[in-house]
Amino acid sequence: MLSPELSLLAFQRRVLALAEDATTPLLERLRFLGIVTSNIDELYMVRMAELRRAAADDSRDGTTHEAHGLTTRARLIAVTREIAEILAAQSRCAAQCLRDAERVGVHVVTWNMLTDGEREALRTRYLDEIQPDLMPLAITLSPGHPLPHLPHLGLFVAVVFRGAAGGRTHLAEHELPRDVPRMLAVPGRGNDVIAIEEVLRANAHLLYPNALVDGTYLFRVTRGGDLLLQDDDQNNLLGAVESAAERRLHNPAVRVEVERSMPANISALILNSLRREAIGREMESTVDDVQVIDGLLDLRCLSALPLPRTAALEFPLLVPRSPLAPDVSIFDAIRAGDVLVHHPFESFDDTVVRFLRDAAADPDVTTIKITLYRVGDPSPVVEALLAAARSGKKVFALVELQARFDEAHNVHWARALERAGGRVVYGLVGLKVHAKVALIIRREGARLARYVHVGTGNYNTRSGRQYTDLSLFTARDAITTDVADLFNELTGSSRPPRSLAHGALVAPHQLLPELLARIEREAHHARDGRASGIAIKLNGLADSEVVRALYAASKAGVRIDLVVRGICTLRPGVQNLSATIRVVSVVGRFLEHSRIYRFENDGDPEYFIGSSDLRPRNLRRRVELLVPVCDEANRARLDLLLFRYLNDATAWELTSTGQYERRDGHALGAQLQAAANI
């Protein structure tokens, strides 16, 4: 199998390729550069500390070969090398993008490129708006000086100074203010800008008027993203998560980026300070070296360059279609037949948000039940739930408090829903509820009718515009019964659901064995000469048990087509192992996020959509939901989507060597076909 970390980094290579592609509009190239920065930040926050600890244990305990043929130590070395190569390529790409920005009148200048008058104007702004907020914190072992806390993802300038010529050297750090733009307009220069660190660097002597400044050096600190709960009592989970999210700001550092000009002795002092900080908090330090960066640190700042918003510099505006007639009741439309929606090409607001808003306003709706994972802030979805609760409807929300990096938002919304009169469940201890599902109960004559929404993406309007996802709206009895049973388990007990009885599949107990059984069924059909085949589109494939099952099916002769956006540890195209498997990755304007499962089943195919990828966390440590797609027209749409993605002329194909090769076709890709409604 392939290394999971190296596979994740291969995905960053594919995103970076979009930034490197001169045919990508410049503003979008800068956005993709920022996405790579954020993704590598998250890789460090989530995976690198664990990988370093495992490598240290590997060194102590002897060589341990893993499924992908590497020792943990060798995997760490390979990952570190690959990250360095990606960062170098990213810096080169950023430099090229800045040269391209100059062609449209935007220059990022340095202090020595300014006139005396421009320097004076910027110095005045520095003294008025920046320096008053700077607080020097000494990096020292001197008594009375506590170790400075370097906030997560903050940018800092290390200033080296002496009290007098030949005097003792001191080191202090200053965090760049977060409420001042990273790129400052140069007065009188049109769209020319200068990085704030350049201005601080040139005026550092004003911070120390009675000292000599020997040097100034920019650096950035990334801290671990673990959420360490001290109280896992379900009754106190809300407060426990809120406190843990605050404590995470003080997690040990996992990375220190420095600009190339920083001397080794200065970077060593910073590392030593971070180690002592971790020891002082009785935590393990997992950072032992600095990461040297050429050019700007934190390339997300380039998205704020004052480039003209012209058609040549950004993707054309996508106007999503409205698949539901505005003058027809959404409940009438769903009752007439299942509705399958492809976001963002079909409007999230006009379907998902409308579903909940109309339910909140409908006097015949009695109850709304929903799972909330990442809803954003502001959140039209939660606003609809609040309106429903205030109007006296029964609102049940399972708010997953432990959605990584969204804990504060979710705590806020949980409390707001409780204040409005809703009933809130905070998730299950030891599991995350990742399913995306809503159930609406409506009185229609003498009966209570049920309507369900199941999505592959979050109840988040921002994601609904930027991610490709699928939504299924249905009043079909089998699905609504399964969803009602799921909510009864989630809200009525503290245990994860065991299974659903009418066709839907739920993790962590039912989904994995049912998927494995379907894979084996396809292998059995292939061995018997009957129609077989598996086609799956998802975000990640890294579960070793699933990979082994797919290998076995391939050896039995099953054709397996996989569209995997990111991590994939399966190695396709290997004789006598995976010869009938192909893996395609589509990376484009929108983040591919939809999940589709199709099993040929001897000519009677089964289709599912839902929240789950094929990773250990999805199958074993989360509540996930897949629901069957039964309507023939919707199945035909899924077949068309799978065909388009598998044959996307712009896609990347994973080879048996573990490398991705980009197709060189010039036809419209799957996303552009969907946008054009072809």
Rounded Cα–Cα distance for residues 489 and 497 (Å): 6
Rounded Cα–Cα distance for residues 377 and 133 (Å): 28
CB atoms < 10 A from the CB of 92, how many?
Answer: 13
Phi (first) and psi of residue 574, to 5 degrees? -95, 125
Rounded Cα–Cα distance for residues 420 and 425 (Å): 14
Cβ burial of 98 (10 Å; 0-12, 13-18, 19+) is: middle
The DSSP string of 221-285 is EEE------S---GGGHHHHHHHHHHHGGGSPEEEEEEETTS-HHHHHHHHHHHHHHHHHTT---
Largest alpha-carbon pair distance within the chain? Answer: 92
The DSSP string of 551-572 is HHHHHTT--EEEEESS-B----
For the question of residue 434 being annotated catalytic, the response is yes
The H or E element that residue 610 is part of is strand 606-610
Tokens 């799972």 locate to 371
Tokens 């469940």 locate to 425
Which CA distances in Å does 310 have to 31, 194, 239, 307? 15, 23, 47, 9
DSSP secondary structure letter of residue 316: P
Q: Which of 434, 453, 525, 593 is catalytic?
A: 434
Which CA distances in Å does 478 have to 265, 459, 481, 627? 67, 23, 5, 10
Contacts of 255 (CB under 8 A, 6+ apart): 44, 48, 221, 222, 287, 291
For helices 544-555 and 511-527, what crossing angle results, to 10°? 10
Tokens 């599949």 locate to 505
Rounded Cα–Cα distance for residues 408 and 532 (Å): 47
Rounded Cα–Cα distance for residues 361 and 608 (Å): 31
User: Strands 193-195 and 183-185: what pairing?
Assistant: antiparallel
Q: Which two tokens stand for residue 461?
A: 């309007």
> Between vectors from CA 442 to CA 437 and to CA 448, what angle results, nearest 5°?
105
Contacts of 295 (CB under 8 A, 6+ apart): 91, 94, 95
SS3 label, residue 541: strand
Q: Which two tokens stand for residue 674?
A: 């969907």
Q: Select from 444, 473, 439 the least CA-distant residue to 364.
A: 444
> Between vectors from CA 619 to CA 616 and to CA 624, what angle results, nearest 5°?
135
Q: At residue 302, what is the residue type?
A: L
Rounded Cα–Cα distance for residues 16 and 33 (Å): 6
Phi (first) and psi of residue 72, to 5 degrees? -60, -40
Q: Which residues are catalytic?
A: 434
